[in-house]
């Protein structure tokens, strides 16, 4: 089976991608520094520990495994932290990605699938965001991802590096079979924080901002199931293998849900009350982010099958009750 280098393969999305790659007939080679990832999550192929800023280590891994492609998930991704410590995000995300891209090109690995974000679009309220919308990130996380997109375009022009970029929205849920799931320390994502509160692992969920210009005052996001998301990445890899042009795809459902709506659905799924407090807005948070994913459906043939709030919360709740990782 052909090898695919998966950076961040010990993390939430990366580990699910490794399972999807294995099922599709590839061997995922996880490259992760384990700062936020978990070695317990590496179950579907070899593991190589290392940091993206370590060019010599990257060269070793490319030489050993000769991957046909890179699937790049490794990144810092906390919006709030990126507002208070932007240098950390520019160094880790941009410098690390540049080092990885240079190592890939030097090794003759000319196919690159990149995990980007809807945060590159910035604040564009009441707009269904498609791939042609202007990019105007309002935080260092989104800005760092946009910079990496620009780097990929530069390296295609200079070295012929073909790439697929996925800008996706709020990822949720877990592997329905329970082999991998979402487990961050510290946790920052809404659904696992909410499940912690339901389960008594934290006193209450904090709802950041109740004065947004939305029907119920809380911000609105487009949620996509992690398994649907990684299926798109496998399709993106196949797109490149077929010799098609570099392309950008949004990944979302086109439907947005407010924080209060997510809380309501969680109560219905778990049959438990969700204790929550109301807090101030967080710097860098947009009012509404909803995707237009028509291009992914038409060109990639991507059809999300589990991206309903009920399925995402049900799968996350199952993992929350049974799954965990240890260092």
Return contacts of 86-91, CB within 8 angstroms, 24+ apart: 86/140, 86/143, 89/140, 89/141, 89/143, 89/144, 90/140, 90/143, 90/144, 90/147, 91/53
State the virtual CA torsion across 292, 295, 298, 300 in degrees, nearest 10: -120
Helix (H) or strand (E) holding 97: helix 96-106
Residue 168 · residue 162 · CB < 8 Å: no
Helix (H) or strand (E) holding 163: strand 162-168
The CATH fold assigned to 3-171+223-251 is Rossmann fold (3.40.50)
Catalytic residue (choose from 65, 141, 168, 223): 141
> Tens-of-pLDDT digits for all 327 residues of the chain?
899 999 999 999 999 999 999 999 999 999 999 998 999 999 999 999 999 999 999 999 999 999 999 999 999 887 778 888 999 999 999 999 999 999 999 999 999 999 999 889 987 766 788 999 999 998 999 999 999 999 999 999 999 999 999 999 889 999 999 999 988 777 778 898 899 899 888 889 999 999 999 999 999 999 999 999 999 999 999 999 999 999 999 999 988 899 999 999 999 999 999 999 999 998 767 788 888 778 999 999 999 999 999 999 999 999 988 867 765
Helix (H) or strand (E) holding 81: helix 79-84
Tell me the sheet residues that pair with 207. Answer: 278
Q: Which two tokens stand for residue 62?
A: 């490319």
Is 26 in the active site? no
Instruction: Compute the distance between CA of residue 312 and CA of residue 299 in angstroms, rounded to an integer.
Output: 25
CATH H superfamily, domain 190-221+254-322: UDP-galactose 4-epimerase, domain 1 (3.90.25.10)
* Residue 175: predicted pLDDT: 96
**Cβ-based neighbours of 59, under 8 Å, separated by 6 or more:** 103, 106, 107
* Residue 186: predicted pLDDT: 77
* Residue 326: predicted pLDDT: 67
Tell me the sheet residues that pair with 31. Answer: 7, 48
Q: Which two tokens stand for residue 268?
A: 């219905």
Is the overall model pTM greater than 0.85, yes or no? yes
Q: Which residue has the tokens 């520019």?
A: 90
Q: Which two tokens stand for residue 94?
A: 């941009």
* Residue 230: predicted pLDDT: 98
Helix (H) or strand (E) holding 157: helix 140-159
Domain boundaries defined on the chain: 3-171+223-251, 190-221+254-322
| Helix, strand, or coil (residue 165) | strand
């Amino acid at each position: 089976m052909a090898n695919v280098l998966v950076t961040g393969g010990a993390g939430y999305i990366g580990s699910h991608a490794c399972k999807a790659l294995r099922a599709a007939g590839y061997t995922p080679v996880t490259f992760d520094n384990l700062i936020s990832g978990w070695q317990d999550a590496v179950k579907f192929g070899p593991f190589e520990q290392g940091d993206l800023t370590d060019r010599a280590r990257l060269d070793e891994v490319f030489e050993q495994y000769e991957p046909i492609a890179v699937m790049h998930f490794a990144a810092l991704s906390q919006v709030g932290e990126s507002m208070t410590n932007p240098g950390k995000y520019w160094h880790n995300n941009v410098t690390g990605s540049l080092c990885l891209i240079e190592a890939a090109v030097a090794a003759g690995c000319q196919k690159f699938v990149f995990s980007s974000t809807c945060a590159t679009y910035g604040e564009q309220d009441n707009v269904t965001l498609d791939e042609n919308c202007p990019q105007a990130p309002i935080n260092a996380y989104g800005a760092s991802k946009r910079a990496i997109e620009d780097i990929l375009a530069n390296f295609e022009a200079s070295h012929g590096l073909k790439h697929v970029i996925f800008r996706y929205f709020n990822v949720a849920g877990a592997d329905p079979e329970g082999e991998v799931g979402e487990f961050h320390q510290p946790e920052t994502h809404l659904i696992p924080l909410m499940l912690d509160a339901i389960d008594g692992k934290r006193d209450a969920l904090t709802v950041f901002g109740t004065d947004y210009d939305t029907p119920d005052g809380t911000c609105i996001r487009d949620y996509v199931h992690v398994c649907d998301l990684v299926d798109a990445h496998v399709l993106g890899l196949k797109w490149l293998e077929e010799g098609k042009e570099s392309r950008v795809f949004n990944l979302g459902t086109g439907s947005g849900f407010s924080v209060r709506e997510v809380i309501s659905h969680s109560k219905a799924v778990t049959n438990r009350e969700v204790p929550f407090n109301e807090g101030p807005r967080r710097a860098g948070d947009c009012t509404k982010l909803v995707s237009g994913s028509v291009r992914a459906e038409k060109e990639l043939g991507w059809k999300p099958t589990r991206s309903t709030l009920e399925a995402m919360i049900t799968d996350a709740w199952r993992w929350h009750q049974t799954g965990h990782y240890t260092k």
